[in-house]
Amino acid sequence: MPRYALDGFRPHIHPTAFIAPSADVIGQVTVAENASVWFGAVLRGDLEPVTVGPGCNVQDGAVLHTDAGWPCVLTEHVTVGHRAIVHGATCGPGSLVGMGAVMLSGSSLGAGAMLGAGALLPEGAHVPDGMLAVGVPARVVRPAPGAGNAQRYVQNSARYAQGLTRLPDPEPARPRLEEA
C-alpha cells in the first residue's frame, strides 16, 4: 500500500484497518478501526484532513479529497461506492455514496442517507437523515432503503487481510524455435 507523507503530515492508519496494496493514502489522512480502503482508491489529505471513521469502507477506484476550508469526513459505518468522489464533504453515520456519485465541497449526507449511483450533490447541498437523493443535480426523492453494506465490508476486509496473496509476475513467453 503506497502511503506518502506531505508537508510533514503522515497518514495515521489503525492496525485493524485494511488498506489494499494499490490504494494511495497521502498526507493528513486518518483511517480508523475496522475501516477498509479498497483497490485503486485515492485518499489525498493535502489541503485539509481526510477522516475515515470506524467501520467505513471506501471501495475500488473511489477518491476522497479536500478543498481549502472543507475537510473530507466519513463519520462511522459509511459506504463510499466504486469510483465515487467525496470532495470536501461530510457523510453522516451509516450513510452511503453510490457507485460513481460525486459529492462537491461543503455538501453532506445525514445519518442513514443515500446518494444514488451516478448522482451529483452540488456544493453546500444536504441530504437529510434517512433520505435518498438521485440525479444530476441530486434531489431528494424518498426515504432511503435499509442498508447494512458497511458491516459486510468489515467482514470482507478481514477476509482480505488474512487471505490476500500477491502472486509472482508470470515469466514472459519465449519465442518457439523452429525445427531445422
Mean pLDDT of the chain: 92
Predicted pLDDT at 48: 98
Predicted pLDDT at 41: 98
Is residue 92 within 8 Å of 115, Cβ to Cβ? no
Q: Which domain holds residue 137?
A: 3-163
The answer to the question of residue 127 being in a domain is yes
The answer to the question of residue 149 being in a domain is yes
The answer to the question of residue 168 being in a domain is no
Q: Could you report the per-residue pLDDT of 36-82, keeping only the tens digit for each?
A: 999 999 999 999 999 999 999 999 999 999 999 999 999 999 999 99
Burial class (CB in 10 A: 0-12, 13-18, 19+), 45: buried
Predicted pLDDT at 147: 57
The answer to the question of residue 172 being in a domain is no
Is residue 161 within 8 Å of 18, Cβ to Cβ? yes
The answer to the question of residue 179 being in a domain is no
The answer to the question of residue 85 being in a domain is yes
Q: Give the global pTM.
A: 0.87
Residues lower than pLDDT 50 in the chain: none
The domain tally of the chain equals 1
Q: In sequence order, which residues have a C-beta less than 8 Å from that of residue 146 and are 6 or more positions away?
A: none
Predicted pLDDT at 153: 65
